[in-house]
């Protein structure tokens, strides 16, 4: 029996943005079973190539999808006064797309609002730590200014969703406690690492660092600290800059590479200038997945300084590439990042402590081995993780 999975998310699958949720969604598409046809309703970042309101066919990896953009957004990574999720929901409401008898999939519960009464199976994944994202000053999410409004909307949305998969176990406990009468709807799901893309270099660290360095204009004869994430408050990029500056005083044969874009780009550039780090910090922006894989293979440590996470795919991708991780203790990171084995989990959010963690990893690379890193993510493949998700879709859309 052929089924139609409709992924509804405020993203251009043929554009440049490639954050954690985007890579999750890409994996969901690429590893879809043969009995599922994929439709994607999203936004376009290039209205000439992918005009608003017109269906088009294209490939995500080897999987062909039908794509319908309902609005244009030039830069998906920049936050505006009216949140993209709200503008996208309004565009969806006016699009009047036929959804009956399909399986609807949402990465944000805001995106489901126009379809709550639609007679279709509805599944959502919660990628965030709900309670932490509502804390002012620790999140870029607009809901932090209106937490009571969020709880009201969440209560309505959860009633109409058939299943809700949750990445962060603390958020799962929150959902099961707050919605005891809907407990059956909630299920934990992990993120994963696609080892076909993210794996140690066959050429070896030295050689791949030369190749990657030439591609981005980064000197190869240094230790590379890598950051992968949005330049937004929740990722705390200024804390990263501060930690790097502290560590640099201990070892100046080090550079920082930051992959990602966001509203804080100018603040990050100002901090780099203020600390005289312009020749030490490389902002490479949003880059394609295969180039990101090259950075993981070339770097010496991944650093995550976030205020809040669920299970960031960057951590799993780094470990799957044999790269140790230094991270604040957020979300499910401690399940795979083990102190003295695959990296260091920093209990505080202090830049000095993060710098000390970086020092531990870079000063003793023989401890944080490639094999340790690979073993920590063994089994966390998209084929294994997504089986439960697709089995649930089949059960809800039994026809």
Copy the structure tokens of residue 134.
């509502």
Task: Specify the pLDDT at position 310.
Answer: 84
Q: Which residues contact 295 (CB under 8 A, 6 or more apart)?
A: 212, 226, 228, 257, 259, 284, 287
List beta partners, residue 279.
none
Task: Specify the pLDDT at position 269.
Answer: 97
Domain 3-192+381-396 has CATH 3.40.50.2000: yes
**Of 186, 209, 215, 121, residue with least CA distance to 160:** 121
SS3 122: strand
For the segment 128-171, what is each residue's pLDDT rounded down to a tens digit? 888 777 665 555 666 777 788 889 999 999 999 999 999 999 99
First CA to last CA distance, the chain: 8
Q: Which whole number is the average pLDDT over 39-47?
A: 95
Mean pLDDT lowest among 242-246, 284-288, 336-340, 359-363: 284-288
Whether pLDDT at 18 is above 80: no
Decide which of 239 and 109 is more confident: 239
Task: Specify the pLDDT at position 226.
Answer: 98
For the segment 188-216, what is each residue's pLDDT rounded down to a tens digit? 999 999 999 999 998 888 999 999 999 99
Whether pLDDT at 250 is above 70: yes
Task: Specify the pLDDT at position 144.
Answer: 72
Decide which of 175 and 18 is more confident: 175
List beta partners, residue 122.
104
Domain spans, the chain: 3-192+381-396, 205-376
Chain mean pLDDT for the chain: 92
Task: Specify the pLDDT at position 148.
Answer: 86
Q: What is the percentage of the chain residues whose pLDDT exceeds 90?
A: 76
The whole-angstrom separation of Cα 275 and Cα 101 is: 57
- How many Cα neighbours within 13 Å face the side chain of 28? 27
Is the CB of residue 142 less than 8 Å from the CB of residue 88? no
Question: Phi and psi (nearest 5°) for 70?
Answer: -105, -5
Copy the structure tokens of residue 274.
């203020």
For the segment 274-294, what is each residue's pLDDT rounded down to a tens digit? 999 999 999 999 998 899 999
Helix axes 313-320, 289-298, angle to 10 degrees: 60
Is the CB of residue 193 less than 8 Å from the CB of residue 317? yes
User: Quick one: three-class SS letters along 176-225?
Assistant: HHHCHHHHHHEEECCCCCCCCCCCCCCCCHHHHHHHHHHHHCCCCCCEEE
Task: Specify the pLDDT at position 139.
Answer: 56
Copy the structure tokens of residue 384.
């294994």
Q: Which whole number is the average pLDDT over 32-59?
A: 95
> In whole angstroms, how far apart are CA 163 and each of 87, 94, 166, 371?
25, 25, 10, 36
205-376 has the same fold as 3-192+381-396 = yes
For the segment 56-96, what is each residue's pLDDT rounded down to a tens digit? 999 998 999 999 999 999 877 667 777 888 899 899 988 87
Is the CB of residue 12 less than 8 Å from the CB of residue 50? yes
Q: In terms of CATH, what superfamily is 205-376?
A: Glycogen Phosphorylase B; (3.40.50.2000)
Copy the structure tokens of residue 209.
């660092």
Sheet architecture: strand order including 163-166: 56-60, 63-72, 36-44, 3-8, 103-106, 121-126, 163-166, 186-188
The whole-angstrom separation of Cα 88 and Cα 392 is: 27
Helix axes 20-30, 382-396, angle to 10 degrees: 70
Long-range CB contacts (within 8 A, 24+) of 201-209: 201/297, 201/298, 205/297, 205/298, 208/294, 208/297, 208/298, 209/298
The whole-angstrom separation of Cα 138 and Cα 154 is: 20
Q: Which residues contact 46 (CB under 8 A, 6 or more apart)?
A: 12, 14, 15
Is the CB of residue 25 less than 8 Å from the CB of residue 77? no
Q: What is the percentage of the chain residues whose pLDDT exceeds 70?
A: 97
Task: Specify the pLDDT at position 223.
Answer: 97
| Helix %, strand %, coil % of the chain (to 5) | 40, 20, 40
Copy the structure tokens of residue 205.
């660290």
């Amino acid at each position: 029996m052929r089924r139609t999975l409709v992924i509804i998310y405020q993203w251009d699958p043929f554009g440049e943005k490639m954050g954690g949720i985007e890579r999750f969604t890409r994996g969901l598409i690429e590893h879809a079973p043969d009995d599922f046809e994929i439709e994607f309703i999203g936004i376009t970042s290039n209205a000439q190539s992918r005009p608003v309101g017109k269906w088009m066919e294209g490939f995500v990896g080897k999987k062909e999808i039908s794509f319908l953009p309902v609005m244009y957004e030039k830069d998906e990574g920049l936050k505006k006064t009216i949140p993209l999720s709200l503008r996208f929901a309004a565009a969806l409401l006016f699009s009047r797309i036929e959804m009956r008898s399909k399986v609807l999939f949402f990465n944000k519960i805001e995106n489901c609002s126009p379809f709550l009464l639609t007679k279709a199976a509805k599944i959502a994944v919660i990628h965030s730590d709900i309670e932490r994202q509502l804390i002012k000053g620790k999140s870029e999410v607009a809901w932090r200014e209106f937490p009571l409004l969020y709880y009201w909307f969440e209560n309505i949305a959860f009633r109409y969703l058939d299943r809700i998969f949750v990445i962060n176990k603390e958020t799962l406990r929150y959902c099961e406690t707050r919605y005891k009468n809907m407990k059956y709807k909630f299920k934990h799901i992990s993120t994963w690492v696609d080892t076909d893309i993210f794996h140690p270099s066959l050429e070896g660290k030295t050689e791949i660092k030369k190749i990657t360095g030439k591609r981005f204009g980064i000197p190869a004869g240094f230790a590379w600290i890598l950051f992968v994430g949005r330049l937004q408050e929740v990722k705390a990029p200024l804390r990263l800059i501060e930690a790097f500056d502290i560590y640099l005083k201990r070892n100046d044969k080090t550079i920082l590479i930051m992959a990602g874009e966001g509203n804080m780009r100018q603040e990050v550039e100002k901090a780099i200038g203020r600390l005289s780090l312009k020749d030490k910090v490389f902002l490479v922006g949003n880059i394609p997945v295969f180039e990101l894989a090259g950075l993981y293979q070339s770097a010496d440590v991944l650093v995550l300084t976030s205020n809040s996470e669920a299970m960031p795919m960057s951590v799993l991708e780094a470990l799957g590439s044999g790269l140790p991780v230094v991270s604040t203790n957020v979300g499910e990171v401690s399940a795979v990042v083990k102190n003295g084995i695959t990296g260091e989990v920093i209990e505080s959010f202090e830049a000095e402590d993060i710098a000390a963690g970086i020092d531990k990893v870079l000063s003793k690379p023989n401890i944080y081995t490639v094999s340790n890193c690979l073993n920590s993510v063994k089994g966390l493949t998209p084929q294994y993780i997504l089986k439960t998700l697709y089995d649930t879709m089949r059960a809800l859309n039994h026809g």
